[in-house]
Structure 1
Amino acid sequence: MNEQSRPRESTPQEPSDRERMETELATRLPPLLFTVAVFSLSILSNLESQNTTVDEFLAIFAALCLISAALLVDSLLDKLKLTFNDRFFLLHGGYLLFSASVSSAIPLLAVLYLYGSDFLSASSAENSTNLTITFAVFGATAASMFWKMMTLDIRNISFMALLTSAFASIAWLYHLRLICVAGGATS
Structure 2
Amino acid sequence: MGMTTDPFSLLGLEPTAALDPAVVRQVFQERAAAVHPDHGADAADRAERTALFASLNEAQRCLSSTPQRLRVLLQVRYPELAASHAGAVMDGAFMELFGAVGAALEKAKAVQSRRAGVVSALARAMLMADETMAADAVMGALGAVNDAMGALERALPALDETMRSGEACGPQLKAAAARAGFLEKWQAQLRAAHAGAVG
TM-score interval for Structure 1 and Structure 2 normalised by the shorter chain: 0.3 to 0.5
Q: Which has the higher contact order (CA 8 A, sep 6+)?
A: 2
What's the TM-score, normalizing by structure 2? 0.34
What's the TM-score, normalizing by structure 1? 0.35
